[in-house]
């Protein structure tokens, strides 16, 4: 497989975003002829031009760096581990948010859905999960949909699975990350048990809940996501906080009881 040229990357992202050459050229305030020359390799885009086109095409920061490298330029956006000094304040803020959400589960995941951090309540959802699925790096989509993972206790598995796969597909379309496509194919290959009810125990269909069977009854959770609004760092731009909220009073009581029991056993 040949390495892509910067021109082919510009063309691929333009087509992925469904822009014509004229449409993108108008957004970038350049001529369609100049854009065509860049795509075919007859003209080399400057660093500033690539950053302008990437902004107009809403290309993720990681892929912007890859485009710059392809053109022979240094990356524009820094990337650090979450425990590195430059991200210390962000890491502290994330920890604060996750801890404050207890006794309800919450976690932070990276751009590949690997677990970065979680509050103590998340462990309450992981009963009977195969140990190998909890070996770092823990991929939370694999953990949730694998037959030996949380999936064995999800009552509306078909519906929840479809919801997660749709999110993953949209993420791949946004980023063009082949790793995500491979993960999608893996998750889609997992079996869905016969008889799984796609709308089990749903009284008010305002959102797709995660419904888990527990020793204390059915736990029904709604999920919400949080991201940093204006990140200029690669890892921070990909970080997503996934929080779970009880969908009813009974689910809230189950979570509070489980958290209280875990605290007493600690």
Which tens digits make up the pLDDT trace of 40-81?
999 999 999 999 999 999 999 999 999 999 999 999 999 999
Residues 212 and 221: beta-carbon distance below 8 Å: yes
What pLDDT, on the 0 to 100 scale, is given for residue 3? 83
Structure confidence by residue, pLDDT tens digits, 218-247? 999 999 999 999 999 999 999 999 999 999
Burial string for 213-242 (b: 16+ CB within 10 Å, else e) reads eeeeebbbbbbeeeebeeeebbbbbbbbbb
Contacts of 33 (CB under 8 A, 6+ apart): none
Structure confidence by residue, pLDDT tens digits, 100-147? 999 999 999 999 999 999 999 998 889 889 999 999 999 999 999 999
3-class state of residue 204 by DSSP: coil
Phi-psi region of 97 (alpha: psi -120 to 50; beta: other; left: phi over 0): alpha
**Cα 168 from Cα 35, distance rounded (Å):** 31
3-class state of residue 226 by DSSP: strand
pLDDT level of residue 6 (50, 70, 90 thresholds) = very high
Contacts of 262 (CB under 8 A, 6+ apart): 120, 123, 124
Residue 15, Cβ neighbours under 10 Å: how many? 12
Q: Which of 191, 192, 210 is nearest to 201 (CA)?
A: 210
pLDDT level of residue 201 (50, 70, 90 thresholds) = very low
What is the reported pTM?
Answer: 0.90
Residues 61 and 227: beta-carbon distance below 8 Å: no
What pLDDT, on the 0 to 100 scale, is given for residue 263? 75
- Cis preceding linkage at 103, omega within 30: yes
Q: Which of 181, 239, 182 is nearest to 60 (CA)?
A: 239
**Predicted confidence (pLDDT) at residue 199 exceeds the cutoff of 90:** no
Work out the percent of the chain whose per-residue pLDDT is above 70.
94
Rounded to whole angstroms, what are the CA distances from 156 to 146, 151, 247? 14, 9, 14
**Predicted confidence (pLDDT) at residue 205 exceeds the cutoff of 70:** no
Phi-psi region of 244 (alpha: psi -120 to 50; beta: other; left: phi over 0): beta
Residue 35 is encoded by which pair of tokens? 């854009």
What pLDDT, on the 0 to 100 scale, is given for residue 39? 98
**Predicted confidence (pLDDT) at residue 83 exceeds the cutoff of 70:** yes
């Amino acid at each position: 497989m040949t390495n892509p040229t910067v021109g082919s990357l510009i063309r691929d992202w333009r087509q992925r975003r469904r822009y014509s050459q004229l449409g993108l050229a108008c957004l970038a305030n350049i001529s369609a002829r100049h854009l065509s020359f860049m795509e075919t390799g007859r003209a080399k885009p400057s660093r500033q031009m690539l950053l302008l086109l990437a902004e107009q095409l809403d290309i993720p920061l990681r892929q912007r760096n890859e485009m710059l490298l392809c053109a022979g330029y240094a990356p524009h956006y820094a990337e650090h581990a979450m425990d590195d000094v430059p991200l210390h304040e962000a890491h502290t803020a994330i920890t604060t948010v996750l801890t404050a959400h207890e006794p309800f589960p919450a976690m932070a995941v990276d751009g590949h859905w690997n677990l970065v951090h979680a509050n103590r309540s998340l462990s309450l959802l992981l009963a009977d999960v195969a140990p190998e699925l909890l070996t770092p790096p823990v991929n939370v989509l694999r953990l949730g949909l694998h037959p030996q993972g949380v999936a064995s206790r999800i009552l509306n598995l078909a519906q929840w699975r479809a919801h997660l796969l749709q999110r993953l597909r949209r993420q791949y379309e946004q980023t063009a990350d082949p790793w995500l496509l491979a993960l999608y194919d893996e998750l889609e290959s997992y079996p869905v048990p016969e008889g799984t009810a796609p709308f089990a125990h749903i009284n008010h269909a305002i959102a797709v809940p995660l419904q888990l069977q527990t020793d204390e009854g059915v736990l029904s959770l709604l999920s919400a996501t949080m991201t940093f609004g204006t990140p200029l760092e690669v890892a921070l731009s990909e970080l997503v906080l996934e929080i779970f909220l009880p969908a009813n009073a009974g689910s809230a009581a189950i979570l509070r009881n489980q958290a209280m029991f875990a605290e007493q056993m600690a």
